Chains A and B, each alone.
Chain A
Amino acid sequence: MTMSTPEEKNKTGLPLVHLGIARPEELAPLFADLRGRFDEECACACDESSWKQFRDTWLGRKSGVLTQITDNWLKPATQELKRVVGQELNQLRAHVESNIEERRKSIEAGADETASARERVDLSLPGVIRPIGSHHLIRQVLQQIEDIFFSIGFSVVEGPEIETPYYNFEALNIPEFHPVRDDMDTFYLDLPKGAPQPLLLRTHTSPMQIRTMEKRQPPVRVIVPGKVYRRDNPDATHSFIFHQVEGLAVDNDITFCDFTGTIEYFVKQFFGPGVKTRFRPSYFPFTEPSVEFDVSCIFCGGSGAAAGGGTCSKCKGSGWIELFGAGMVDPAVYGFVKYDPKKVSGFAFGMGIDRLAMLKYGIDDIQVFFQNDARFLRQFP
């Protein structure tokens, strides 16, 4: 049974007694060995970093070879040996110090500029490659949108994906049998008999408008990122799940001009200052006036013409791309949350993130977002 220390075992680490040396004449070969080892290592120290390591090995204050000799050989030596060890040590020290300094000078003088091709690194080879992951593209786009709106005073809130018809429809001024419900074909949950109310997968992030206003008094400025679901058969441009960012601003002085200004600010931050915008009147039950928001086509620069002739396929030649729906909050909605529609006004918008990401990055199949192919994920680190 033994116990070991982790330190390297070499001769300078042990007292002379342990090396079996008792007579002064036995010292000379010992020091000669060391000098030989030094010269060998010196020849190998041909750049700055290896030179530093070499210097520390020999002259390091704590555990350099010279320090070890002083601590382990000289200090515990018998009177008889001490004198000779001292002499030998001084000679070795002089040799070591002068050669180390020489070496430094020669390295600095660029002597190693002439190092052989074999010794040089091949810069065309890769370094050590550590596997590094990636952010999902949708997550990146969501973050960018969140940051833009956060910078102009919008807080971020989240809500349930499983909703009640009240929050998803009724409180947003969409009663049962409203034609808009036909456009939002909805998934319902299979609940046990006697369930107090049906549950559905939210078809938009708008329910959080209601939930937020129920909890907070104006001023309200929030965005709501999240997943939404519509019962569409999947293809390249449809998915029954996609991501939305809902926005809502309500205060006692918010106007249509504030609304268009906010949206324009966002779009120029997101797509760049060169993009043109337009608002077209539209219809949503929970906004009035309602608009569809278009940006100039980022593929043809708004000309409507394809680069190779013919019409641009992305905007069908119109020069515009429809981005999302929005509008001033319909006063009927305030009735559901007990705000006074005569005192407050505001705007709301709901943008599809998947579509924004597809436009911005030229993705032609929405399904790639959910297949999670590592090769796709790696494209957007």
Chain B
Amino acid sequence: MKIVYNWLKDFVDVKATPDELASRLALSGTNIGGIENGPHGAVIDAEVSSNRPDSLGHYGIAREISAIYKLPLKPVTPKPKESTAAKAADAAHVEIQSPELCGRFTARVIRGAKIQPSPQWLKDRLEASGVASINNVVDATNYVMLELGHALHAFDYDKVRDHRIVVRRAKPSEKIRTLDGIERILAPGICVISDGDSSRAVGIGGIMGGAETEISFSTKNILLECAWFEPVAIRRAARALKLHTEASTRFGRGADPEMAELASRRCSELILQLAGGELLSGVVDIYPGKRAPKKILLTRAELLRIMGADVPDKEIESSLSALGFSPVRVDQNRGAEGSLLAAWECTQPSWRADVEREIDLIEEVARIYGLDKFPPRLPAARQGAARLPHYEAEARLRERLIGLGYQEILTIPHVAEDRDALFRPPDVQPARLANPLSEEANVLKSTGIVTMTTALEWNLNRGQRNVRLFEIGRHYRLRGSESIETPILTIGATGQAREKGLYETAREYSFADLKGDIDALGAFAGGSTWNEGGSAWLNPAGRGRIALHNEAIGEAGELTRRVAEQLKLRQEIFLAELQLAPLYSAIREAKESRKYQPLPRFPGVERDFSLLLADGTHFSDVVAAIRALNIQEIANMEAVDLYRGKNVPAGQYSLLVRVTFQSRETTLTEAQLTDFSARIITALEKQLSAHLRST
């Protein structure tokens, strides 16, 4: 809504400069988008909130100003000269068949008007308001709309069949060509203004008039409509028709039904002034929606309970009076200023449908009094505050991942269906969008992997070759008509694990890096285990499933070349996805059950076994074979070197296994160690056909 500064002066004698005024308006609830100084003076751009249709006209803004500055508001009392011979009631007939859509319909008739261009002063004000000038009669209706905030419509009286208006619901697929020349198809529930026998639509009620009865330069007689339409029906209709007009905005937010007759009178006065002619006496006024004004009580006790600081009686009364609420003290302590028991009975003005309750009056008082007058204070807390249950576990995972060199990312879950399908498990029902912005973003990611690969791709395409990323997020799936959001950790890495530097050589990131890093996370949860298997998008030779206490929580591995090529990822990509809920709870449990282990008092002794093993024999087989010997003194077993190639027969590989022996009771003797070693060698030879390598 563009507010023309000089126009306001028609109603309130404001002295403040446009800048000051805009700032005061902003601080009392009229949001200001900016001020422009044009050829017609200052124009303030007010972004009127949807609950305040009364501010969609200069008069309503002037009322706000009169309340803020405590200035009198000039009344609007148009008294157009009426014909002594003819009555409007004889010249026009109105019937409302759908009072649930149209609560009031007024009609006035002007005969012998001369349609011509508007005078300059009128054109100037319309131009300043951003409205195009058409002709004096149409301009008069627009002018009154901008002045009083109520939309009107002028018909060519002679084109209205039988001079009869019937307001009704649209018939199924009823058609109308509106003023903008577009033929529109209506749906039942839309309010239609029809004429004659009501078979022809001549307007969409509260939204736009029809082309067939519009005012033209040949028009002589005018039927002036000023009505009130039900706001929810208007919003529905405007949305269904995709037709948002100045009229639909005002009626859609709830116009003032009492204003309908006044605006009609004001507009008639203006038309007589601009186009001459004769105004038939009286008005046709069908008003099925008339309601008695509502009484609302405001008490000081409630004001204090909500606002926490007081407002003087005089301020309460002057602001509510200026806004039209006619406050009257009704408590027993009438006359006692500042009484804690003070209560005011207020009357809801017809233009303030948004104010219905005591809390609404409190807001009115507070905003005019000034929100800065309520002193800020920090309230005392009465309860301890709690973090999220997984706060600590999540923080530790995040810090460890960052320490391991991974950068945290946040991705948009909207992805392309085909891309999501690359990683989606076959039995999963994706969460598709009914109204996506584009086909590239038509489904919510059903894995974290899909957006992780996009982030890796973004970096590879921008020369960032060595990237390690993680995301703590969710994936989104459906089960029937139910949504399932699952918290997940996704890891993605590519390029070098270590770049060449002054002291170290370069090394490519490998599956072992990924496994080691995931196990470093699993350590929080008491240790993770790995099993064969994994999704089809993972390379079968380099993938595995991750479990905590035998419960699978995710998978990790190298992206298959097939998928990498589809995504145009031209280097090895490593990916992992873990479910966070079981990980978080395992971390919590492990933390709670962790106990101190007394440090060993006797030295440990290491023995290395250099083994030749057949391909397909795993380190875990070696460990199991040694474990089966049940030697209590074995404190640790680790693989310290692995070698294939020269000096190793085909089909075999060399593995150096280091076993640490340690007793809690005594220092181990050479004889004991020799015995342990011998038993281990025998077991490995027998069970795994291992050969001990000579060095």
Contact = CB atoms under 8 A, between A and B. Distances in A.
Interface string A171-199: 00000010110100001111110111101
A292 B32 CA distance: 12
Interface residues of A, number: 92
Contact of B485 (A4, A161, A375): A161
A377 B306 contact: no
Interface stretch (A32-40, A88-96, A123-131): A123-131
Contact of B478 (A4, A138, A191, A233): A191
B462 A373 contact: yes
A257 B308 contact: yes
B458 A289 contact: no
A67 interface: no
B501 to A, nearest CB: 6
A216 to B, nearest CB: 10
B378 to A, nearest CB: 5
Interface string A131-155: 1111110110000000000101111
A256 B607 CA distance: 74
Given A6-B606, A126-B502, A150-B387, A278 B27 contact: yes
Contact of A128 (B367, B386, B501): B501
B52 interface: yes
A6 to B, nearest CB: 6
Contacts of B50: 179-180, 283
B305 A345 contact: yes
A157 interface: yes
Given A280-B27, A331-B357, A4 B371 contact: no
A355 interface: no
Which one of B385, B434, B467 has the highest number of Cβ atoms from chain A below 10 Å of its Cβ? B385
Given A158-B388, A261-B376, A256 B306 contact: yes
Contacts of A378: 407
Interface residues of B, number: 100
Contact of B469 (A2, A253, A279, A372): A372
A264 interface: yes
Contacts of B469: 372, 374
Nearest to B401: A133
B645 interface: no
Contacts of B434: 187-191
Contact of A139 (B381, B405, B410, B432): B410
Contact of B388 (A156, A262, A374): A156
A150 B385 contact: yes
B379 A258 contact: yes
Contacts of A158: 388
Contacts, number: 255
A328 B306 contact: yes
A101 B401 CA distance: 47
B265 interface: no
A134 B407 contact: yes
B481 A192 contact: yes
A27 to B, nearest CB: 27
B435 A188 contact: yes
B34 A316 contact: yes
A261 to B, nearest CB: 4
A188 B433 CA distance: 6
Interface in B293-321: 305-309
A58 interface: no
B359 A288 contact: yes
Contact of B377 (A6, A180, A261, A289): A261
30 contacts: A1-B692, A4-B695, A131-B405, A131-B497, A134-B408, A135-B408, A139-B408, A179-B50, A182-B239, A188-B435, A190-B432, A195-B480, A199-B481, A240-B412, A249-B379, A279-B372, A281-B29, A283-B52, A288-B360, A289-B362, A289-B367, A331-B357, A371-B458, A372-B458, A372-B469, A373-B458, A373-B464, A374-B407, A374-B469, A377-B408
Interface of A: 1-6, 125-126, 128-136, 138-139, 150, 152-158, 160-162, 177, 179-180, 182, 187-192, 194-197, 199, 219, 221, 227, 231, 233, 239-241, 249, 251, 253-258, 260-265, 278-283, 288-292, 316, 328, 330-331, 345, 369-375, 377-378
Given A133-B403, A189-B431, A195-B480, 5 more contacts: A129-B501, A189-B434, A280-B26, A374-B459, A378-B407
